[in-house]
């Protein structure tokens, strides 16, 4: 696996950012790209469909997120006001 590979996207309304990485690494996300004033972040495990809530963050700048293990992970960051369910629900 290429240690520098990550694929990311943002919804056109700015309510969600997703980023996929195939290996262990730290992803830096510009939370100012989220539409609301606070964001909720999750690690989604595509291997079993489970989610782990990371926390809530102010959308004022850059935030680092480090994968929980050395495997495939999807980082999901949502506008907290959108009140979306956990990824995979």
What pLDDT was estimated at residue 70?
87
Place of tokens 């996929």: 20
pLDDT means per 10 residues, the chain with 89 residues, are: 80 97 93 97 96 98 95 96 95
Cβ–Cβ < 8 Å for 77, 17: yes
User: 71: which DSSP letter?
Assistant: S
What pLDDT was estimated at residue 3?
65
d(CA 4, CA 2): 5
């Amino acid at each position: 696996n290429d240690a520098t590979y990550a694929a990311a996207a943002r919804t056109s309304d700015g309510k969600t950012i997703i980023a996929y990485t195939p290996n262990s690494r730290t992803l830096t996300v510009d939370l100012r790209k989220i539409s609301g004033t606070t964001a909720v972040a999750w690690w989604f495990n595509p291997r079993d469909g489970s989610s782990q809530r990371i926390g809530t963050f102010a959308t004022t700048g850059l935030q680092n997120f480090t994968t929980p293990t050395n495997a495939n992970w999807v980082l999901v960051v949502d506008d907290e006001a959108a009140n979306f369910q956990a990824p995979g629900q």
